[in-house]
């Protein structure tokens, strides 16, 4: 029992140490202080791109006697640009992008159609400058002007500032003609991505967010690099069962959107794309009415990604970035910094990573300890503690000392009893004649003595 008084408390302490280590290893970063909308904004921004789809038409003016028109054309570098801009989302780490067909429509048009659109633009410029009606300017320019070349251009501007050439891999049709979807491809690897969801699962009043580059958010008062920052507006799904005149399904939403948002992803609460913004509701008195916008369902988009051979796969960049954000939001700045630096090595032009690296470095002094990083040490220590507990228990209960007999108490010395006088055994030959020698005479005398005794016994028995 004396052993147990020492070993049992020690075992309890070791068990407490083991339990504490498991509790510490189980602590995970908590980002409960960050709203879901904030999380989605940070997850989404790196994969939302601005898309420019346009055609450059070169002109030749054949009236040397009209220096004024010549001067205007010279200012225009004898070129007209037709097309527009929109938004899109990267869906694969190797550079597949989904957007609207009408955003890159000019690249799919016939040269004659492009030239006519550019000529119309040129005539409008001349009519406005010379203050003449459109028809007069049209006839004059038609007489002396002809196009000499057309260049179709698709540029994809990434949030990090890179501008890359885009190639159309799959194309539907502009919104008034069919399914307003296009799939583009840019060169790249380890690109940030967004996941395609399932538009069959959406319900009225589901929360959604529209991400993109609305023209209304561009301003001369903003810095040039502000054009690289996408906007995100919140809203809900207003209707799920509407269709275009051509029979293509569309989703109605109430989130604010405008020119430039076309092709931008509509995100659900899981951060998945459930549609692409495609067109807005009719104007009222010439003014856009916000809250009545429509999108192509993502399941329609998937038809075209399949045609293009695009695989909707996330990248290591996505995984590390999200892990870093969770650590950062939880206050584990040192650990977050490691994740963000890994992202930067994989994809140096990530739009958000420099900001988070800087912020993590500045807050490193306040960083919490992520105990799960020390799992190996904890496992070794716990194994040693478990072994020590076993040894202590064996020592306490399996090897008890044997009971030794108590030493005898010494007794006082006693005088031994006197020995009885020696008795002569019966039938023993004795020196009967007292001559000092046991001989034949003694034997004869002994036999005679026995006969006498026997005779006397017989007489007693007869009486």
Supply the CATH number for residue 188's domain. 2.40.10.120
Does 31 fall in a domain?
Answer: no
20 and 127 in one domain?
no
Per-residue pLDDT averaged across 355-374, rounded?
Answer: 83
pLDDT band at residue 424 using 50, 70 and 90 as cut-offs: very low
Q: What is the four-CA torsion angle of 360, 365, 366, 371, rounded to 10 degrees? A: 90
Measured CA to CA, the distance from residue 149 to residue 444 in angstroms comes to 173
Q: Using alpha carbons, select from 276, 339, 337, 343 the residue that is nearest to residue 305.
A: 276
426 belongs to a structural domain: no
Is the pLDDT reported for residue 425 higher than 60?
no
- pLDDT reading at 9 higher than 80: no
Out of 130-134, 294-298, 413-417, 457-461, least confident range: 413-417
> Could you give the count of Cα atoms lying within 13 Å of 292 in the half-sphere of its Cβ?
7
pLDDT given at position 282: 47
Q: Provide the β-strand partners of residue 87.
A: 50
Q: Please indicate, yes or no, whether residues 196 and 253 belong to a single structural domain of this protein.
A: yes
Which pLDDT score, from 0 to 100, does residue 284 have? Answer: 43
Give the range among 68-72, 133-137, 247-251, 287-291 with minimum mean pLDDT. Answer: 287-291
Residue 419 lies in a domain: no
Instruction: Quote the pLDDT of residue 285.
Output: 43
Among 324, 353, 361, CA closest to 29 = 324
Which pLDDT value is given to residue 401? 58
Sheet of strand 96-99: strand arrangement: 163-165, 145-157, 48-61, 79-90, 96-99, 182-185, 167-171
| 81 & 17 share domain | no
pLDDT confidence band for 403 (50 / 70 / 90): low
228 and 81 in a common domain:
yes
Structure-model confidence comparison of residues 352 and 27, the more confident one: 352
Q: Which residue has the higher pLDDT, 209 or 258?
A: 209
Kindly report, residue by residue over 239-290, the tens digit of the pLDDT.
998 888 888 899 999 998 888 899 999 999 999 999 999 986 544 444 555 6
> 121 lies in which domain range?
38-308
Q: 28-60: per-residue pLDDT in tens?
A: 766 778 899 999 999 999 999 999 999 999 999
Whether residue 338 lies inside any domain: the answer is yes
Contacts of 100 (CB under 8 A, 6+ apart): 86, 175, 180, 181, 182, 262, 263, 276, 277, 278, 296
Identify whether residues 150 and 269 lie together within a single domain.
Answer: yes
Confidence class for position 12, pLDDT limits 50, 70, 90: confident
Strand partners, 84: 53
Q: Are residues 224 and 323 in the same domain?
A: no
Same domain (yes/no): 362, 224: no
Q: For 75-84, how does the pLDDT look when each residue is reduced to its tens digit (9 = 90+)?
A: 999 999 999 8
Asked if the model's pLDDT at residue 91 lies above 80, the reply is yes
The pLDDT of residue 375 is 64
Q: Is the pLDDT of residue 373 over 50?
A: yes
Q: Tell me if 30 is assigned to some domain.
A: no
Highest mean pLDDT, choosing among 128-142, 214-228, 236-250 = 128-142
Same domain as 393, residue 251? no
Q: What is the pLDDT of residue 258?
A: 82
Distance CA 219, CA 224 (A): 9
Quickly state the pLDDT bin for 431 (edges 50, 70, 90).
low
The answer to the question of residue 191 being in a domain is yes
Q: Are residues 358 and 301 in the same domain?
A: no
Residues 15 and 72 in one domain: no
* Number of domains within the chain: 3
* Average pLDDT score over the chain: 84
Write down the pLDDT at residue 442: 64
The predicted-structure confidence for 286-344, as pLDDT tens digits, reads as follows 455 566 789 999 999 999 999 999 999 999 999 999 999 999 999 999 999 999 999 99
Average pLDDT over residues 352-365: 94
Task: Map 195-222 to HEC letters.
Answer: EECCHHHCCCCCEEEEEECCHHHCCCCC
- Please compute the mean of the pLDDT values over residues 428-453 and round it to a whole number: 64
The domain boundary, picked from 291, 308, 325, lies at 308
Tokens of 125: 């410029």
pLDDT at 232: 92
Average pLDDT over residues 61-67: 93
Residues 174 and 195 in one domain: yes
Percent of the chain with pLDDT over 90: 57
Please give the residue that has the higher pLDDT: either 379 or 185.
Answer: 185
Q: Are residues 364 and 289 in the same domain?
A: no
Q: Point out the domain boundary residue: 260, 275, 308.
A: 308
Structure pTM? 0.75
Q: What was the pLDDT predicted at 216?
A: 66
Mean pLDDT of 346-358: 95
Name which of 102-116, 339-353, 385-399 the model is least confident about: 385-399
């Amino acid at each position: 029992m004396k052993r147990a008084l020492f070993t049992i408390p020690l075992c309890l302490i070791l068990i407490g140490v083991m339990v504490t280590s498991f509790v510490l290893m189980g602590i995970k970063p908590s980002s409960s202080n960050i709203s879901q909308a904030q999380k989605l904004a940070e997850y989404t921004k790196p994969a939302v791109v601005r898309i420019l789809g346009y055609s450059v038409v070169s002109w030749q003016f054949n009236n040397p006697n009209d220096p004024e028109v010549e001067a205007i054309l010279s200012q225009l570098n004898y070129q007209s640009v037709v097309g527009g801009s929109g938004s899109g989302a990267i869906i694969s780490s190797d550079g597949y992008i989904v957007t609207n067909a009408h955003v890159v429509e000019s690249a799919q048009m016939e040269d004659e159609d492009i030239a006519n659109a550019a000529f119309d633009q040129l005539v409008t410029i001349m009519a406005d400058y010379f203050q003449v009606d459109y028809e007069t300017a049209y006839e004059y320019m038609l007489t002396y002007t002809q196009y000499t070349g057309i260049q179709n251009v698709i540029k994809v501007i990434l949030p990090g500032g890179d501008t890359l050439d885009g190639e159309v891999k799959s194309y539907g049709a502009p919104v008034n003609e069919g399914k307003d979807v296009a799939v583009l491809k840019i060169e790249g690897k380890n690109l940030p991505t967004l996941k395609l969801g399932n538009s069959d699962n959406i319900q009225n009043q589901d929360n959604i967010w529209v991400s993109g580059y609305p023209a209304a958010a561009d301003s001369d008062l903003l810095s040039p690099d502000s054009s690289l920052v996408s906007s995100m507006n919140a809203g809900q799904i207003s209707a799920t069962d509407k269709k275009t005149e051509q029979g293509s399904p569309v989703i109605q939403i109430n989130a604010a959107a405008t020119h430039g948002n076309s092709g931008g992803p509509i995100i659900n609460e899981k951060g998945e794309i459930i549609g692409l913004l495609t067109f807005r509701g009719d104007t009222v008195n010439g003014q856009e009415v916000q809250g009545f916008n429509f999108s192509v369902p993502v399941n329609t988009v998937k038809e075209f990604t399949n045609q293009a051979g695009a695989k909707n796969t996330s990248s290591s960049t996505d995984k590390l970035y999200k892990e870093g954000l969770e650590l950062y939001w939880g206050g584990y700045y040192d650990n977050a910094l490691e994740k963000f630096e890994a992202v930067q090595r994989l994809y140096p032009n990530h739009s958000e990573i420099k900001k988070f690296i800087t912020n993590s470095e500045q807050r490193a002094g306040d960083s919490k300890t992520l105990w799960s990083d020390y799992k190996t040490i904890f496992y070794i220590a716990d194994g040693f503690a478990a072994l020590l507990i076993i040894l202590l228990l064996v020592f306490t209960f399996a090897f008890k000392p044997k009971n030794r007999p108590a030493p005898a108490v010494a007794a006082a010395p006693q005088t031994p009893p006197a020995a009885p006088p020696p008795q002569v055994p019966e039938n023993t030959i004795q020196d009967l004649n007292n001559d000092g020698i046991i001989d034949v005479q003694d034997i004869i005398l002994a036999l005679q003595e026995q006969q006498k005794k026997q005779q006397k016994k017989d007489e007693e028995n007869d009486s």
